[in-house]
A and B are shown apart, each in its own frame.
Chain A
Amino acid sequence: MTQEQIALAGTGAMRLGRQEGEVIDRRRTITFRWNGKQQLAHPGDTIASALAAAGERVFSRSFKYHRPRGILTADHLDPGCQLQVGDEPNVRAAHRLVEADMDVRSQNTWPSLRFDVKAANGLVGRFLSAGFYYKTFIKPERLWPVYEKVLRQFVHAGSISPDTAHDYYDKRYAHPDVLVAGGGPAGMSAALAAARAGATVLLVDEQGALGGRLRWGGPAELHELHRLTAEIAAEPGIEVLTDSVVGGRFDDNWVAVVQRNLPNVVERLVKVRAKSFVVAPGLIERPYVFEGNDLPGVMLSTAARRLINLYAVKPGERAVVLTANPEGDGAVADLQRAGVDVAAVVDARHGTTVTRARGRSGVQSVELSDGRRIDADLLVTAVGWTAPTSLLNMSGDKPVYDPRSARFRPDPARLPDTVLATGRIVGDGSFSEIAAHGAAIGREAARRAAGIRARWQTQVPTRTPGEPVAEVPAKPVEIPDLTPAAHPELFRGHTHGFVDFSEDVSSKDLFTAVAEGYDSVELVKRYTTVTMGPGQGKLETVNAVAVVAEATGRTIAETGTTTWRPMYAPVTLGALAGRIFEPVRHSPMQAWHERQGAVPLVAGQWIRPEHYGDPAAEVRTVRNAVGIIDVTPIGKLDLRGPDVPELLNLLYVNKWNNLGVGRVRYGVMCAEDGVVLDDGVTGRLGEQHYLMSTTSSGAGTVWEWVENWLQTEHPDWQVHVTPVTTAYASINVAGPRSRELVGRLAEGVDLSPEAFGYMNVRTGTVAGVPDCVLWRIGFTGELSYEIHVPAAFGLHVWEALMSAGADLGVAPFGIEAQRILRLEKGHFIVGQDTDGLTQAYTAGLGSLVKLDKQDFIGKPELTWQAERGGYPLLVGLQPIDGRIVPAEASQIIAGGRIVGRITSSRMSPTLGRSICLGQVEAGLAKPGAVVTVRLIDGRNIPAAVTPQLAHVDPEGERQRV
């Protein structure tokens, strides 16, 4: 179509002339696709308004009976306007603005929207009565997956593509003094008053623009809208979020806001901590229950007024209007102005009502309670309001039903001081009364926020001395009365109709449920799924409660309401998941490892080299020549102060008083239940200076553990703890030629065995880098030096070792080789060979535990463990058939009982046979004992208990050279 043709055709037969408050841009026209067909719209149109302008009346098929559905509310709640847009399902089409080239489709209709095969369900509707699924698809259980498959075809939902790219979802924190939920006249007035009282304000509205019902009002309302909008725009203390919804209120005004309509961001979750929270959602118009109330062409008065005044769309040609309030009367005037032939105005205040609407794919005639039958294609109802109290319920309120105004009202007495309500959720009044109430609430919210700010200021002991605390007016702001107007109680007419349009639940279904004994509204809800659709009861709850009340013969107040829970509006999983933030840690040598083709191992947050291709060869390199491994993640705590020995005596099970400067000792920490917590070596670098190492995975835990004991039990001890794990890059140089290699690079350190023996620590210069720490320790069982290098020089030292050792056959080795080496040597790993029940004696640490110390963590339990005896023990195990490597966690069985398990197992390249560590019951923990290991495939194999944990060099001769 050319621009000229578009201009001639206009954007649809139902498009009206210019309306004063219209939000469409008539100068421009865009095209989109509707079920494959080209369609026109103006920027500013919602998908639904553009389709309605073109004369479309049927937008979707209903959930259970596949009945045709059209516009009901013409806003984000509209149950009949959930459509598929591109690969996004369940788009609220009466809210989402049209964009050029959008691909819009009706959901789950086959073969087409107009001729839906499954509409046959409507004919057999009595089989889909209340609790149908519960009653029918129970037995046999084995058919459940089949039922699920078939039923899935009938579900009213769109389709998603697994190929959809994960778009960008954002997250933000906000800390306003006052958060206002709802940007209608009351909310706008509250925001202005709060900001003028000095508060920072966040004003949130679900619509695309502020104004609420002012937007579709007459000239007076539009005048107020423009004035308020201009004043808010000029007020720097107010931030406005439109097309955003306050989804939930949690403890201490922690509020979730989901923001849409941002460039390059699908949705943003705003986590708001508000000092005061003003709830001003206005009212939601309630549908009326009668036969045919879901036919396309039956719509609420607010829907008709939105279509006419915001989008310049004529909602029908010939209308019947059922009205019980001034807003309904206002809709009559709007319809007449729009040129709709208003055939009848039925005034429910005088007792007349609508009995049923008739038609096939839309309203064709309307029957009234006085017997009249009027031909019409539009039936507009204005029978009352639902107060959307959910944010107040989430704040602790239990709104009470007021029969005089026919709606639930908040009870401010139940609300915390930090939550206030204003606007029509509280009561009705003229625009100036509503605005005055909003302004008073806004000022009071600002006053309370200032009080909280002042209290918080005084609660921070580290605040600047003498910093003035803001003055807070002591006297509360006087809040004018706002009383709900009297309104007739209109929920259901003389016939049965739909209560829940999303879930296809009728008033008849609710009567059936009550007759079957589901007499509580919470039970009826779960049995019939009423109010459980995408609208979450905003349109349906009060009608459902009223029908249950009618069916049980109770009042609405006695029946009560269902519980409102977060979220208030549907939220995408993307918004909740947000951006993907996964912190990753790696050592300064990581780039080198990657260049060498290291296979990465994810160890907590760390990415480490598992191996460089052949772990067995790496083991042989360490045993025969020299290897280097990056052990940067090893936990390192710098301890200083006169009381460090006291601290070490408390933390470790062994003794620490007499550790000389330059000496290193191995220690094991237990928890208060005697279970092994961590292990590592600690060295004394100076008179009052120690360096503690922990396991890589325990680095964070041990730091907090040490601080806990220092801060809570021994605040008098003078010890300062600094975590230095990532301040150093750590390299272990291991193998018979390690002394030779380190000697080529170290300066100022005498490496001779006499000067620098096993279990000693020195500081010095390595490869020109001063302040390195060198430890002579050995996890691998070989002569080895662990070098802690200031992190920025880690890669330099690593590369220097590689080039200086080329003629010695140096090669890097990874975690896998290290695990084999330590298993050959019989060193256990905390958390691998021990678990949450392994006390120190079970881990074979009997000789380390010094029960004669006055105190250490876990001492009582270990004392009792030693007295008790008979505990399981960690032992070395070798399968008799050395070719078999039992999987780790394989059971050890005896007489049909589990008597132990394999905790570590590998094929040993040094011995050429399989080796294991395992925990076995006391009676089996004897050298030479043969135990039975149950393999994963069910075979049992014998394995012998070795004399000691070490399989290689049990005397430790290799590491002491």
Chain B
Amino acid sequence: MMLLTCPWCGPRNSTEFRFGGESHPRPRPDAATPEEWRDYLYFATNPRGWSRETWYHGSGCRRYFAIERHTETNEHRAIDERRAAEARR
């Protein structure tokens, strides 16, 4: 069982968490087209590599948080917003 580092509690067994899937920004509900909204609801990029994900520490601090996890190695790290912004450019 992998260890996942909760930003509040530190490394804990992954069974303490619930996986919330890839983090996608929520489109503006009054402006989104059906395609954009369903992309948000149902589609994941499922990359081989770094993936931005939501986790919920249900058996611990009960906080939702986002991390980046490498899908091949399970290596994970806190999100560096500047790096994320650069990646989007």
Residues of A within 8 A of B (CB): 250-252, 254, 273, 456, 459-462, 672-673, 704, 707-708, 711-713, 854-856, 859-861, 864
Residues of B within 8 A of A (CB): 1-3, 5, 7-11, 13, 20, 26, 29-30, 32, 34, 37, 40-41, 54, 56, 58, 62-64, 74
Question: What residues of chain A lie closer than 8 Å to B5, measured between beta carbons?
Answer: 459
Report the bound CA distance from A645 to B58 in whole Å: 26
Contact call B11/A251, Cβ cutoff below 8 A: no
Known: A712-B54, A855-B30, A859-B29. A273 touches B63 (CB 8 A): no
Q: How near does chain A come to B8, taking the closest CB pair, in angstroms? A: 6
Contact call B64/A711, Cβ cutoff below 8 A: yes
Question: What residues of chain A lie closer than 8 Å to B7, measured between beta carbons?
Answer: 461
Report the bound CA distance from A845 to B1 in whole Å: 44
What are the 8 A-B residue pairs with the smallest beta carbon separation, nearest first?
A460-B10, A251-B2, A252-B3, A254-B1, A711-B64, A459-B10, A859-B29, A860-B37
Contact of A462 among B9, B54, B64 (CB under 8 A): B9
Contact call B10/A252, Cβ cutoff below 8 A: no
Contact call B37/A861, Cβ cutoff below 8 A: yes
Contact call B58/A704, Cβ cutoff below 8 A: yes
Report the bound CA distance from A673 to B37 in whole Å: 9
Report the bound CA distance from A707 to B2 in whole Å: 25
Add 13 more A-B contacts to A273-B13, A712-B64, A854-B30 (CB < 8 A): A250-B1, A252-B74, A461-B8, A462-B8, A672-B40, A673-B41, A707-B62, A708-B20, A711-B63, A713-B26, A856-B29, A859-B30, A861-B37
When C-beta atoms are compared, the residue in chain B nearest to A859 turns out to be B29
Contact call A704/B56, Cβ cutoff below 8 A: yes
When C-beta atoms are compared, the residue in chain A nearest to B20 turns out to be A708
6 contacts between A and B (CB under 8 A): A250-B1, A273-B13, A459-B11, A672-B41, A704-B56, A712-B54
Known: A250-B1, A252-B2, A708-B56. A860 touches B32 (CB 8 A): yes
Report the bound CA distance from A673 to B29 in whole Å: 12
Question: What residues of chain B lie closer than 8 Å to A273, measured between beta carbons?
Answer: 3, 13
Question: What residues of chain B lie closer than 8 Å to A861, measured between beta carbons?
Answer: 37
Report the bound CA distance from A672 to B56 in whole Å: 18
Known: A459-B5, A672-B41, A712-B54. A707 touches B64 (CB 8 A): yes
Report the bound CA distance from A860 to B30 in whole Å: 7
Contact of B29 among A460, A708, A855 (CB under 8 A): A855
Report the bound CA distance from A34 to B13 in whole Å: 47
Question: What residues of chain B lie closer than 8 Å to A713, measured between beta carbons?
Answer: 26
Report the bound CA distance from A859 to B26 in whole Å: 12
Question: What residues of chain B lie closer than 8 Å to A854, measured between beta carbons?
Answer: 30
Contact call B74/A251, Cβ cutoff below 8 A: yes
Q: How near does chain B come to A746, taking the closest CB pair, in angstroms? A: 36
Contact call A456/B10, Cβ cutoff below 8 A: yes
Contact of A456 among B2, B11, B56, B58 (CB under 8 A): B11
Report the bound CA distance from A689 to B28 in whole Å: 29
Q: How near does chain A come to B34, taking the closest CB pair, in angstroms? A: 6
Contact of A860 among B9, B20, B29 (CB under 8 A): B29
When C-beta atoms are compared, the residue in chain A nearest to B7 turns out to be A461
Question: What residues of chain B lie closer than 8 Å to A250, measured between beta carbons?
Answer: 1
Report the bound CA distance from A218 to B80 in whole Å: 62
Report the bound CA distance from A461 to B5 in whole Å: 11
Question: What residues of chain A lie closer than 8 Å to B3, measured between beta carbons?
Answer: 251-252, 273
Question: What residues of chain B lie closer than 8 Å to A254, measured between beta carbons?
Answer: 1-2, 13
Contact call A708/B64, Cβ cutoff below 8 A: yes
Report the bound CA distance from A273 to B20 in whole Å: 25
Report the bound CA distance from A856 to B54 in whole Å: 21
Report the bound CA distance from A855 to B30 in whole Å: 7
Q: How near does chain A come to B2, taking the closest CB pair, in angstroms? A: 4
Q: How near does chain A come to B78, taking the closest CB pair, in angstroms? A: 9
Question: What residues of chain A lie closer than 8 Å to B74, measured between beta carbons?
Answer: 251-252
When C-beta atoms are compared, the residue in chain A nearest to B63 turns out to be A711
Report the bound CA distance from A805 to B64 in whole Å: 48
Q: How near does chain B come to A75, taking the closest CB pair, in angstroms? A: 31
Question: What residues of chain B lie closer than 8 Å to A461, measured between beta carbons?
Answer: 7-8
Question: What residues of chain B lie closer than 8 Å to A707, measured between beta carbons?
Answer: 62, 64
Contact call A864/B41, Cβ cutoff below 8 A: no
Report the bound CA distance from A856 to B29 in whole Å: 8
Report the bound CA distance from A229 to B54 in whole Å: 50
Contact of B9 among A252, A460, A673, A712 (CB under 8 A): A460
Q: How near does chain A come to B39, taking the closest CB pair, in angstroms? A: 12
Question: What residues of chain A lie closer than 8 Å to B41, measured between beta carbons?
Answer: 672-673
Report the bound CA distance from A704 to B7 in whole Å: 18
Question: What residues of chain A lie closer than 8 Å to B1, measured between beta carbons?
Answer: 250-252, 254
Report the bound CA distance from A250 to B41 in whole Å: 33
Question: What residues of chain A lie closer than 8 Å to B2, measured between beta carbons?
Answer: 251-252, 254
Report the bound CA distance from A529 to B72 in whole Å: 32
When C-beta atoms are compared, the residue in chain A nearest to B4 turns out to be A252
Report the bound CA distance from A859 to B29 in whole Å: 7
Question: What residues of chain A lie closer than 8 Å to B58, measured between beta carbons?
Answer: 704
Q: How near does chain A come to B44, taking the closest CB pair, in angstroms? A: 15
Q: How near does chain B come to A314, taking the closest CB pair, in angstroms? A: 49
